[in-house]
Amino acid sequence: MLLDLIDVFAGKGALSGNPLAVVRGGEHLSAEAMLALTRWLGFSETTFLLPPTAAGADYRVRIFYPAGELPFAGHPTLGSAHAWLAAGGAPAREGVVVQQCEAGLIEVRQGEGSLAFRAPALRRSGPLGDVEAAEAARIAGVPAEAVVEAIHADNGPPWRLLRLRSAADVLAARPVARVEAHTDLGLIGPHPFGGPADWEVRAFFTKPGGALAEDPVTGSLNAAAALHLFGAGLARDSYVAGQGRVIGADGRVEARHDSEGAVWIGGRVAMVAAGASLGG
């Protein structure tokens, strides 16, 4: 087996995005072994590249995070596509890689130094109930008056998304250290004109044992948020979201709404280390 380390959604500097481990040649591994390796590596997600089983797919991927397996995730999608291409993969359609995952077939477009995936449809949307919204604000550590909107944004991970008054409110949030129930919680707020990005994003998820962790840059949350922002008329055509500054990252996510109504989520992807040998 071989291991690639990928930097996804990197900003201007090296090692500024979200790290991803991609395992190649692990077809013999059980789900339990994949999860054990994911936990040992310690990244927010690890993916396993496999031969496709669906018509039209270039490759298949299984996506694990420390608490289990995900049907879809954004930065693992871009990082897996990058690793597959770097290992000599040739897509059936020039410039478009088709990934098979539990959520279905996901298109990934190649650009100059970047990749972008087509955001999958939300599995659940609509407002949170009052009690659930208040609990989300408590976990995120934001005052109730800062919350403009609280919604479901489930596209694989069951994100709950709080839209705040401003990027400053997002950056000022101080989440709790531990939670009793599984939590996937996102914050988004607008920067003033001329700011470092158009929107600021933060994402929190539960680790085994109940600790709440912050993700450096999150493709699935940004995809769900973009579908909502474009659909509600809160953004037009395209925007750039920043994420990760509170924990030392400098992620940049490019969201675009095309003429056919599709939403694309992209950014810079770079290989950090390729083909490290794994035992087994």
Question: What are residue 186's DSSP bridge partners?
Answer: 161, 203
Question: What are residue 150's DSSP bridge partners?
Answer: 162
At 189 the three-state DSSP class reads strand
pLDDT band at 280 (very low <50, low <70, confident <90, very high): low
pLDDT digits (tens, 9 = 90+) for 192-237: 999 999 999 999 999 888 999 999 999 999 999 999 999 999 999 9
pLDDT at 97: 97
Residue pair 66/73 in contact by the 8 Å Cβ criterion: no
Q: Is the dihedral of CA 224, 230, 235, 237 positive or negative?
A: positive
- The pTM score is 0.92
DSSP code of residue 177: S
Write the single-letter amino acid at 104: G
pLDDT band at 67 (very low <50, low <70, confident <90, very high): confident
pLDDT at 182: 87
> What domains appear along the chain, each with residue ranges and CATH number?
2-117+266-277 (3.10.310.10), 130-265 (3.10.310.10)
Mean pLDDT of all residues in 70-74 = 92
